[in-house]
Amino acid sequence: MYVYETLSGAVNGLKERGFSVDFNLLENCLVCENEKFDVNEFDIIEYYRFEGDSNPSDESIIYGIESKSGVKGILVSGYGISAEGMSAEMAKKIRFAD
């Protein structure tokens, strides 16, 4: 994995390496450009965690994701107290990064 000091640096680095679409997290799938990927249709290739210096609610994580069909993109999400709601199956898929 690469080392990034900021979230924006990680976003730029991943995009330079071909992670070009932005994924959005729904309760039980990822969505991008009118496509949905359920928990079995993608892999997390890499991830980076960031913590705010003075505010615990500034905690975020960025995932580099590739779908089984070859779509590569990023998902930026909160973790800890700012984590988004998701199904148990989705939480299990991404829990190794928390």
Q: What is the pLDDT of residue 83?
A: 52
Total of domains in the chain: 1
Task: Look at residue 2 and tell me if it is in a domain.
Answer: no
- Give residue-wise pLDDT tens across range 37-84: 998 999 999 999 888 665 555 688 899 999 999 999 999 987 654 455
Q: What is the pLDDT of residue 81?
A: 43
Task: Look at residue 48 and tell me if it is in a domain.
Answer: yes
Q: What is the pLDDT of residue 31?
A: 92
Classify residue 94 by its DSSP letter.
H
Distance in angstroms (rounded) separating the CA atoms of residues 77 and 95: 12
Specify the length of the chain in residues: 98
**pTM for the full model?**
0.82
Range of the domain at 68: 7-97
| Cβ atoms < 10 Å from Cβ of 12 | 12
- Give residue-wise pLDDT tens across range 5-15: 899 999 999 99
Distance in angstroms (rounded) separating the CA atoms of residues 35 and 27: 15
Task: Look at residue 1 and tell me if it is in a domain.
Answer: no
